[in-house]
């Protein structure tokens, strides 16, 4: 079985601190990590491989040369091959152009049965790239998968997490799934995995390699444009301030609660 | 290909661009010709997304940006008219986010002087719900009903909505950022090859260009971005539940119900819906709570949430959390408030040890009263609060609990 | 300090640290409190490939020698000194096979241990034979192709949980030190049972149990090395395994030091963090210096042991003295540093709310097992005298 996992390099948001004066993010020293939701995608792919001997897991990411590190990370957790889709021409891509580039790269790689993505990336939070890739590859997709019930050569049955429970969905193969946190507990890298990932050769693909239409990649291929970026004027309320001894402020605020009728 | 460069002669090394760059891709480097005297801005081309923030920030016109206009096949915008809301249904009931979208999109349609339409896709008797949409402000309702469509599935829903968009050519299509909306809006946008902006927190239109200005928190950070889809139609957005207020019901309001001509080829489906299993157990409905006591990084661990739970129980409220607390595994995801969690609008929101990153704020800033407890009096949450308590939550909250208990006696 | 570790050595540390922080730390109090054997963590060790770092590659390990074992054990023990013992005590039980086993025995037992599928244990100590192994009363009497074992071993780490046991018994009670032999036993053999489980001061997550042999019939293929070579195997094993105990001690000490520094920076008394008081600063400085000195001696010893690998018997350096020194210094340092860590925490240090009291309890065993500190000193002194005698005949 050929399994593909699409992953993304994101800033580690748990590291991020805010400059209290400007309200901006302090980005210095923020490390880049595998998008946390993609960790579940990698784990599920590796589990599927372990259950189906002879399978292969290929991880693929689009990004700058530094994004290679997330591929190595995935290799240390059991993926077999890493592919970096990297070209300056991809710069400034929105979700549509990203989905296009990744779908072209996947086509270039050849056969696949299952594609996994995390449900969304923690930096953009759009959740759009996964289904977008499925559309461009003209295959079925199931989003928010929380469990794979069974898989055969031709079809797969999964549970799709919904706001009010879950749907059991059967899909033909090939299929793209975006997975949620509930699906598994990702493993830690093994020593063998680490040593192998260090030695592994990461394949790099450019826009020309994957035969991408230059009109559909990068900024060129992005219908959405960032018009402006701004730090929101924080809703500053002329609020009442409570400062002082804990005993005093606690009774003052509780008195306030009484006043507004919640106690 | 777009290009961006620093004009060395003009750059004075002030560092303003580096400060303003939302992606942190500009660094200040030494100038070999003037060691230690002037610095020079350097852009990491591999990471730059050509947003142009630095160009505006530079007072010395030292940054040159050549942005290619999208070469993606453009459409004639003037052919597209009308505002659409996708009327999501679950098990035959209209999702309440739809009524919120109708109220906001009504304003957009009025500004653009076009009708507001809703698209309803569902099982055999779904058309009975069309009148509800009209009473909430829709002027037209497109209905496609078929027993095969009773439960949501990506393939047929995508095909039907895409076909309808191609035929009717609306200029704006807005959907709920629910699991359903997020799953197939991307597919629809990809098939039409138009832009889609997720999780918008504000929508407005520019009457001249008829462009939809879609504002959302961006780049995983403390900033907002306004996003346009200037050369493509329709302009598509998703909006989360509780971001806008529900449209009121106007009993007996008249509108047009259009039964879409059926085409069985649209029902082609690679997936099969087997069954739905309801499960409310894992769902803590913070979205419906009147009072929310919420905790963030300042709680320092799981233990802190026990304290908040006690306060919440006393007040008859629910416990919420910031993403930092959920990421640290102090509390489960179902409690998360904010951009990646739930959007809430309770009567009272008590934020304990939450600094107020924008992604959190967008999830709760329509609360009626915000109470903040924090050691840092200058953090955004304290500034946004109606009542701000400067102090250690571990000292203040237990005393609040004690006081309330005494009052209750 | 910079020890010029290789890239793969650093990877071992990283791998172990991940497991320690993500998997061990959240449950360490639970296992200490309940005194349960941490099988769920053993699985994590196995999954992360930590069980076989010191086992040669041809038997499914990583061939990283005693240095590899030391680095992994130290890193794990920074977080918990008891749970890591599942792995360290397995190494102790495995070393006799590595040292004296024939190819068939190595191929039979090492791969499962390297993969973490099975744990091992070392059975030497008896109620009446602690520091003096020759006082043991377990016997192995030869009958045809078999040996019949009778007797009871006590204080056996991993007892009852391990699958593979290296057991020492007297094959010829008349020959004293040369009458002891070593056998590989498997859990489930007829006549091999487990007795009382010890209630201990520390290392509570570790199982410490009696092994009981009642006419246990062991095939002669299970004899390790030659008959009568048991004590030589013990000596060679301890020379290799004491750095493992030293690493356990060092890890506990380093973990306690980290806790103490962090707490001293956070704890405010008299209006300022206690780290600003010179009394505390000097304690921390002493602790850090002691830990680093112990580490330097231990790493150098481990490197020395590993340098013997592949050399002809004649050129191999004896490492009994250095192993004993490393174990002595690291374990005594662990006791000192953890005691001082509790001191810096004050009353909170004595409370189970903070991890340092557990570290102090766990540290104590390292000055006791695999030879008490006093036995280490005997070993060191004996070697000093021998060396001097050899030089000045």
Please indicate, yes or no, whether residues C214 and C136 belong to a single structural domain of this protein.
yes
DSSP SS3 for C8: helix
Angle, CA C69 vertex, CA C67 and CA C71 arms, to 5°: 70
Overall average pLDDT of the B256-273 stretch: 95
Q: Bridge partners of B212?
A: B205
Best residue in A178, A220, A224, A243 for a mutation probing chain B (most B CBs within 10 Å): A224
pLDDT at B328 over 70: yes
Residue A61: enclosing H or E segment and its boundaries?
Answer: strand A56-62
Of C8, C23, C47, the CB nearest to A190: C47
Cis status, amide bond into B234, omega within 30 of 0: yes
Decide if C7 and A190 are in contact by the 8 Å CB cutoff.
no
Please say whether the beta carbons of A168 and A142 come within 8 A: no
Residues of chain A with Cβ-Cβ distance to C49 below 8 Å are 190-193
Domain final residue pick, C224, C245, C272: C224
The reply to whether B378 falls in a domain is yes
Which residues in chain A have Cβ-Cβ distances shorter than 8 Å to C44?
Answer: 188
Q: Average pLDDT, whole number, for chain C?
A: 95
Q: If you ran DSSP here, which 8-state letter would residue C20 be given?
A: I
Report CB contact under 8 Å: A188, C22.
Answer: yes
Task: Quote the pLDDT of residue B77.
Answer: 82
Residues of B in contact with A161 (CB under 8 A): 179
pLDDT above 70 for A16: no
Assess whether B187 and B219 both reside in one domain.
yes
- For residue B93, what is the DSSP state? E
Neighbour subunits, B (≥3 Cβ pairs < 8 A): A
Number of structural domains in chain B? 3
CA C256 – CA C358 distance, rounded (Å): 10
Residue B316: per-residue pLDDT? 87
pLDDT at position B221: 55
CATH no. for residue B183? 3.40.50.620
- pLDDT for B272 equals 95
Q: What is the pLDDT of residue A244?
A: 86
What is the rounded average pLDDT of the residues C279-292? 98
Cβ atoms C101, C108 nearer than 8 A: no
Confidence label for B338 from pLDDT (cuts 50, 70 and 90): confident
Q: What is the pLDDT of residues C94-135, one digit of tens each?
A: 999 999 999 999 999 999 999 999 999 999 999 999 888 889
Are B34 and B164 part of one and the same domain? no
| ipTM at complex level | 0.89
Q: What is the pLDDT of residue A14?
A: 60
Same domain, C297 and C208: no
Closest CA to C202 of C248, C260, C159: C248
Partners of chain C (3+ Cβ pairs below 8 A) = A
In a shared domain, residues C137 and C240 = no
C2 in a structural domain:
no
CA B134 to CA B118: how far, in whole Å? Answer: 9
Within a domain: B273: no
Give me the mean pLDDT over the C310-329 stretch.
Answer: 94
Which of these three, C224, C239, C269, is where a domain ends?
A: C224
Domain check: are B209 and B338 in the same one? Answer: no
Determine the Cα–Cα distance for residues A118 and A177; give it in Å rounded to an integer: 8
Give the one of A128, A166, A226 whose C-beta lies nearest to B51's C-beta.
Answer: A226
Instruction: Burial-class residue B263 by CB neighbours within 10 Å (0-12, 13-18, 19+).
Output: exposed
Q: Is C308 helix (H, G, I), strand (E, B) or coil?
A: coil
Nearest CA in chain A to B291: A262
Min Cα–Cα distance to chain A from B404, Å? 7
More confident residue, B67 or B317: B317
Residue partners of B112: CB distance under 8 A and separation at least 6: B83, B171, B205, B207, B210
Length of chain C: 393
CA angle B334, B339, B343 (to 5 degrees): 60
Tell me if A156 sits within 8 A of A171, measured CB to CB. yes
Contacts of C54 (CB under 8 A, 6+ apart): C61, C62, C64, C65, C66, C68, C69, C91
Residue B325 pLDDT exceeds 60: yes
Give the domains, in start order, of chain A with CATH numbers.
2-216 (3.40.50.620)
Contact B276, B302 (CB under 8 A): no
Task: Indicate yes or no: CB of B277 within 8 angstroms of CB of A168.
Answer: yes
pLDDT at A259: 86
Asked if A151 and A142 count as a contact pair (C-beta separation under 8 A), the reply is no
The CA–CA distances, whole Å, from B222 to A32, A232, B300, B340, B352 equal 18, 8, 22, 14, 19
Residue B216 and residue B110 share a domain: yes
Q: Is the pLDDT of residue B384 over 80?
A: yes
Cβ-nearest to A20 among B53, B379, B395: B379
pTM of the model: 0.83
**Which among C187, C186, C181, C189 is positioned nearest to C223, based on CA atoms?**
C181
CATH classification at residue B390: 3.40.50.1220
| Mean pLDDT along residues A136-145 | 97
pLDDT > 60? residue B72: no
Instruction: Flag if A99 and B190 touch (Cβ within 8 Å).
Output: yes
Least confident of C130-139, C208-217, C293-302: C130-139
Buried b or exposed e, range A141-168, using 16+ CB within 10 angstroms: bbbbbbbbeebeeebbbbbbbbbebbbb
Domain that holds residue C179: 121-224
> Is the confidence at residue B219, as pLDDT, over 70?
no
Q: Select the more confidently predicted residue: C85 or B12.
A: C85
- Looking at the fold, whether B227 and B258 belong to one and the same domain comes out as yes
Of A187, A188, A191, the CB nearest to C11: A191
Q: Are residues B377 and B258 in the same domain?
A: no
CATH number at C177 reads 2.40.110.10
| Pairing state between β B256-259 and B140-145 | parallel
Q: What digits encode the pLDDT tens for the residues A42-61?
A: 999 999 999 999 999 999 99
Residue C370 a catalytic site member: yes
pLDDT tens-digit map of C52-82: 999 999 999 999 999 999 999 999 999 999 9
DSSP count for chain A of H helices, then E strands: 6, 15
Write the CATH number for C331. 1.20.140.10
Residue B93 CA: distances (Å) to CA of B141, B171, C354: 15, 27, 53
pLDDT of residue A217: 92
| Residue range of the domain that includes B153 | 77-267
Phi-psi region of C215 (alpha: psi -120 to 50; beta: other; left: phi over 0): left
Tell how far CA C52 is from the center of its chain.
Answer: 14
Counting residues of chain B whose pLDDT is more than 90, the rounded percentage is: 58
Domain membership flag for residue B179: yes
Region A210-220: mean pLDDT is 91
Residues C171 and C256 in one domain: no
Instruction: Using an 8 Å CB-CB cutoff, list chain C residues near A190.
Output: 15, 47-49
pLDDT at A239 (0 to 100): 84
Q: Identify the CA nearest to B241 among candidates B175, B188, B289.
A: B175
Co-location of C320 and C201 in the same domain: no
Q: Is the pLDDT of residue B162 over 80?
A: yes
User: Which chain B residues are within 8 Å of A172, Cβ to Cβ?
Assistant: 270-271
Q: Is A253 on the interface with B (CB under 8 A)?
A: yes
Segment B87-105, tens digit of pLDDT: 999 999 999 999 999 999 9
- Which whole-number Å values give the CA distances from C82 to A43, A169, C41, C200, C354, in the listed order? 29, 46, 11, 11, 16
Q: Which position among C9, C74, C161, C370 bears the catalytic label? A: C370
C227-241 mean pLDDT = 95
What rounded mean pLDDT belongs to chain B? 89
Q: Identify whether residues B30 and B174 lie together within a single domain.
A: no
Enumerate the residues of chain C whose CB falls inside 8 A of the CB of residue A187: 47
Residue of B nearest to A178 (CA): B183
Give the pLDDT confidence of B188-198 residue by residue, as tens digits: 999 999 999 99
Q: What percent of chain B has pLDDT over 70?
A: 95
Question: Do residues A66 and A9 touch, judged by C-beta distance below 8 A?
Answer: yes
In terms of phi and psi (left: phi > 0; alpha: psi -120 to 50; beta: otherwise), the region of C297 is: alpha
Q: Among the three residues C200, C224, C248, which one is the final residue of a domain in this structure? A: C224
Cβ contacts below 8 Å, chain A against chain C, sum to 34
Q: What secondary structure letter does DSSP report for A125? A: -
pLDDT surpasses 80 at A23: no
DSSP string, C344-381: HHTHHHHSTTSTHHHHHHHHHGGGTTTS-HHHHHHHHH
Residue B351 counted as domain residue: yes
User: What pLDDT shows up at residue B281?
Assistant: 53
What whole-number percentage of chain C has pLDDT above 90?
A: 93
């Amino acid at each position: 079985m050929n399994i593909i996992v699409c992953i993304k390099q994101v800033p580690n948001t748990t590291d991020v601190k805010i400059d209290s004066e400007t309200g901006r993010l302090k980005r210095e020293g923020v490390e880049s990590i595998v998008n946390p939701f993609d960790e579940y995608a990698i784990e599920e792919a590796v589990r599927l491989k372990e259950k189906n001997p002879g399978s292969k897991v290929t991880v693929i990411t689009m990004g700058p040369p530094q994004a290679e590190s997330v591929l190595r990370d995935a290799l240390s957790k059991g993926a077999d091959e890493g592919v970096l889709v990297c070209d300056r021409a991809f710069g400034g891509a929105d979700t549509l152009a990203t989905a296009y580039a990744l779908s072209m790269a996947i086509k270039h790689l050849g056969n696949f049965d299952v594609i996994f993505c995390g449900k969304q990336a923690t930096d953009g939070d759009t959740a759009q790239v996964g289904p977008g890739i499925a559309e461009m590859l003209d295959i079925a997709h199931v989003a928010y998968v929380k469990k794979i019930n069974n898989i055969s050569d031709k079809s797969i049955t999964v549970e799709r997490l919904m706001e009010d429970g879950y749907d059991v969905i059967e899909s033909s193969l090939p299929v793209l799934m975006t997975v949620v946190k509930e699906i598994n507990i990702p493993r830690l890298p093994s020593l063998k995995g680490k040593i192998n990932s260090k030695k592994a050769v990461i394949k790099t693909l450019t826009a020309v390699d994957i035969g991408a239409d230059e009109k559909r990649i990068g900024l060129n291929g992005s219908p959405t444009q960032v018009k402006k970026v701004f730090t929101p004027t924080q809703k500053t309320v002329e609020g009442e301030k409570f400062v002082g001894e804990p005993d005093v402020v606690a009774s003052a605020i509780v008195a306030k609660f009484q006043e507004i009728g919640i106690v | 290909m777009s290009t961006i460069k620093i004009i060395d002669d003009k750059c004075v090394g002030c560092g303003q661009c580096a400060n303003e760059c939302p992606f942190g891709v500009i660094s200040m480097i030494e100038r070999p010709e003037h060691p230690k005297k002037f610095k020079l801005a350097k852009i990491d081309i591999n990471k730059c997304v050509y947003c142009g923030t630095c160009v505006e920030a530079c007072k010395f016109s030292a940054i040159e940006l050549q942005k290619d206009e999208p070469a993606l096949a453009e459409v004639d915008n003037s052919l597209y008219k009308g505002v659409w809301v996708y009327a999501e249904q679950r098990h035959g009931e209209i999702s309440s986010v739809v009524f919120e979208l109708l109220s906001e999109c009504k304003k957009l349609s009025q500004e653009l002087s076009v009708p507001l339409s809703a698209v309803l896709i569902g099982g055999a008797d779904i058309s009975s719900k069309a009148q509800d949409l009209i009473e909430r402000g829709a002027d037209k309702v497109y209905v496609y009903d078929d027993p095969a469509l009773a439960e949501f599935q990506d393939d047929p829903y995508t095909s039907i909505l895409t076909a309808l968009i191609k035929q009717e050519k609306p200029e704006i299509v807005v959907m709920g950022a629910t699991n359903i909306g997020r799953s197939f809006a991307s597919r629809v946008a990809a098939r039409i090859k138009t832009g889609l902006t997720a999780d918008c927190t504000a929508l407005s239109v520019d009457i001249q260009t008829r462009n939809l200005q879609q504002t959302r928190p961006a780049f995983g950070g403390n900033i907002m971005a306004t996003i346009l889809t200037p050369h493509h139609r329709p302009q598509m957005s998703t909006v989360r539940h509780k971001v806008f207020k529900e449209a009121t019901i106007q009993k007996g309001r008249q509108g047009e119900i259009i039964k879409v001509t059926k085409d069985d080829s649209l029902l082609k489906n690679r997936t099969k819906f087997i069954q739905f299993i309801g499960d409310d157990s894992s769902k803590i409905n913070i979205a419906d709570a009147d009072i929310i006591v919420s905790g963030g990084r300042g709680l320092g661990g799981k233990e802190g949430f026990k304290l908040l739970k006690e306060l919440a129980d006393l007040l008859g409220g629910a416990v919420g959390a910031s993403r930092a607390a959920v990421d640290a595994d102090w509390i489960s995801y179902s409690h998360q408030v904010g951009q990646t969690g739930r959007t809430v609008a309770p009567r009272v929101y008590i934020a304990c040890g939450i600094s107020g990153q924008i992604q959190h704020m967008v999830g709760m800033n329509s609360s009626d009263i915000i109470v903040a407890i924090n050691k840092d009096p200058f953090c955004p949450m304290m500034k946004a609060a109606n009542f701000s308590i400067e102090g250690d939550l571990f000292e203040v909250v237990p005393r609040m609990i004690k006081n309330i208990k005494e009052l209750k006696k | 300090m910079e020890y010029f570790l290789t890239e793969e050595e650093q990877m071992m540390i990283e791998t172990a640290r991940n497991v320690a922080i993500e998997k061990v730390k959240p449950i360490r109090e639970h296992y200490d409190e309940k005194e349960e054997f941490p099988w769920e963590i053993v699985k994590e060790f196995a999954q992360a490939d930590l069980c076989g770092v010191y086992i040669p590659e041809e038997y499914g390990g990583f061939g990283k020698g005693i240095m590899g074992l030391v680095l992994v054990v130290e890193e794990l023990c920074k977080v918990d000194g008891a749970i890591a013992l599942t792995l360290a005590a397995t190494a102790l039980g495995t070393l006799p096979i590595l040292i004296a086993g024939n190819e068939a025995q190595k191929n039979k037992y090492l791969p499962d241990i390297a993969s973490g599928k099975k744990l091992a244990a070392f059975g030497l100590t008896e109620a009446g034979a602690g520091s003096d192994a020759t006082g043991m009363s377990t016997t192995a009497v030869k009958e045809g192709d078999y040996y019949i074992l009778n007797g009871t071993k006590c204080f056996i780490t991993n007892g009852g949980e391990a699958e593979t046991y290296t057991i020492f018994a007297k094959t010829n009670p008349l020959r004293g030190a040369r009458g002891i032999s070593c056998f590989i036993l498997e859990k489930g053999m007829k006549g091999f049972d487990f007795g009382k489980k010890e209630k201990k001061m520390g290392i509570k997550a570790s199982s410490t149990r009696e092994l009981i042999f009642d006419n246990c019939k062991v095939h002669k293929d299970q004899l390790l090395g030659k008959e009568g070579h048991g004590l030589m195997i013990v000596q060679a094993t301890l020379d290799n395994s004491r750095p493992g105990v030293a690493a356990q001690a060092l890890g506990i000490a380093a973990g306690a030091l980290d806790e103490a520094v962090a707490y001293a920076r956070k704890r405010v008394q008299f209006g300022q963090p206690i780290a600003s008081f010179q009394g505390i600063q000097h304690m921390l400085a002493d602790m850090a210096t002691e830990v680093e000195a112990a580490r330097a001696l231990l790493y150098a010893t481990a490197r020395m042991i590993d340098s013997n690998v592949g050399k002809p018997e004649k050129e191999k350096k004896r490492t009994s003295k250095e192993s004993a020194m490393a174990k002595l210094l690291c374990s005594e340092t662990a006791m000192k540093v953890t005691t001082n860590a509790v001191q810096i925490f004050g009353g909170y240090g004595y409370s189970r709310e903070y991890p340092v009291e557990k570290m102090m309890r766990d540290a104590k065993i390292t000055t006791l097992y695999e030879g008490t500190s006093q036995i280490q000193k005997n070993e060191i002194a004996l070697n000093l005298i021998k060396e001097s005698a050899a030089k000045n005949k």
